[in-house]
Amino acid sequence: MKMRRLGRSDLVVSQICLGTMTFGEQNTQEEGHAQMDMAFERGVNFLDMAELYPIPPKAETQGCTEKIVGSWVKARGNRDKVIIASKVVGRSANEWFRGGRPSKLVRADIMDAIDKSLARLGMEHIDLYQIHWPDRNVPFGSNPTRVPENVEPLPDETPIAETLAVFDELVKAGKIRYLGLSNESSWGVMRYIAESDRETGPRPVSLQNAYNLLNRTFEVNLAETCRREDVGLLAYSPLAQGYLSGKYDGGALPEGSRKALFNRLQRYEKPGASEAIAAYNAMARDFGLTPACFANAFVNSRPFVTSNIVGATSTEQLGEALDALDVVWSSAMQEAVDGLHQKVGNPAF
């Protein structure tokens, strides 16, 4: 397991990060503990979660993921050996996060979020505290290939300087060590950095954005931004919510799959996506690999990825994701991937 420094921080994280958003919904506490045990034994020291989790977000399960992770850390007594990353929600109309009112990235809401997350985790600090998505009126993911018409600034938009000042308080209070961004654009990353240069608050050390064979939009502008500004990419959804595992090939709908349970995969069901998925999965098999192994190996191979966030609902799935580290990504594989990408583009941004 390769270890890498995260941005300009002193956090050294594993090349694979375990995503935990299934814990508390698709996975029980016992199953979550088993996944974390396996990951830890294989060299993973990095766990990612959010106050929102598990997925799908519901008032009755919100926060369960952090409780399960906290219970594992307490039981194993390994807090000094794991890097804990969590997130505060951006602007949200869902009222259950703040006890009956919508959420924004203002001081009262961020303070409420961090205190509740620390209580659920049973910890004194979070190593990497990320803004899950912006307060601004932007498409989810913040890096589309087409800009919708309704992106005018909101009249009550929370200024980035105001949000960053709250994170400055959190760092000084010892509640968090570093700030990370998520689902953010090049403009947003640079605005946070500019405010940090003015000493408004901490400099972001990471960006957690979707990155996979079907969505390489990070490469358009963000790759240069993050490389030159030393912001580490934490790539999420390497399997495109399971579509790049091959389990949905040919219209299959496996029992217990996320699509069968929740039907929330519309991000990867846009025009042209199904043809691209079939082609990439066929390519993987042509190279003698399973689609999941091939898709993870692609993400692992990219020089701008600090850590690949993998998720699973079983230790078998997790084992396959970890085995992708053994794949030697060849120039032939990259040429084939790039050739297909030239034809199909990013159908699932």
pLDDT-above-90 percentage for the chain: 95
Confidence of residue 229 (pLDDT cuts 50, 70, 90): very high
215 — pLDDT class (breaks 50, 70, 90): very high
Residues with Cβ within 8 Å of residue 278, at least 6 apart in sequence: 249
* Domains: count for the chain: 1
CATH number of 128's domain: 3.20.20.100
The whole-angstrom separation of Cα 320 and Cα 24 is 22
Given 3-state DSSP classes, what are the helix, strand and coil percentages for the chain, each rounded to the nearest 5?
A: 40, 15, 40
Asked if the model's pLDDT at residue 142 lies above 90, the reply is: no
pLDDT, the chain, mean: 97
Q: How many CB atoms lie within 10 A of CB 217?
A: 21
257 in a domain, yes or no? yes
Domain membership of residue 284 as a residue range: 3-344
Q: How confident is the model at residue 247 (pLDDT cuts 50, 70, 90)?
A: very high
Phi, psi angle pair for 194, to nearest 5°: -60, -45
Looking at residue 313, its pLDDT comes to 97
pTM confidence score: 0.97
Say if CB 154 and CB 137 are below 8 A apart. Answer: yes
Which one-letter amino acid corresponds to residue 84?
I
Mean pLDDT value of segment 111-140: 97
* pLDDT digit string, tens, across residues 270-299: 999 999 999 999 999 999 999 999 999 999
Average pLDDT over every residue of 104-132: 98
- Residue 349 resides in a domain: no
Asked if the model's pLDDT at residue 91 lies above 90, the reply is yes
**What confidence score (pLDDT) does residue 349 get?**
87
Q: What is the pLDDT of residue 146?
A: 86
Band of pLDDT at residue 15, cut at 50, 70 and 90: very high
Which pLDDT value is given to residue 70? 98
What is the number of alpha carbons within 13 Å of residue 124 lying toward its C-beta?
A: 4
Decide if pLDDT at 123 tops 90.
yes
**CA–CA–CA angle 123, 128, 129 (5° rounding):** 85
Q: Is residue 330 part of a domain?
A: yes
Residue 180 covered by a domain: yes
pLDDT digits (tens, 9 = 90+) for 160-205: 999 999 999 999 999 999 999 999 999 999 999 999 999 999 999 9
Q: Which of 18-27, 146-155, 208-217 shows the lowest mean pLDDT across its residues? A: 146-155
Q: What is the per-residue pLDDT for 144?
A: 87
Identity of the amino acid at 230: D
Residue from 53, 192, 236, 268 carrying the catalytic annotation: 53
Query: Is 63 inside any structural domain?
Result: yes
211 is catalytic: no
Q: Judge whether 134 lies within some domain.
A: yes
Q: What is the pLDDT of residues 33-82, one digit of tens each?
A: 999 999 999 999 999 999 999 999 999 999 999 999 999 999 999 999 99
Q: Is the pLDDT of residue 147 over 90?
A: no
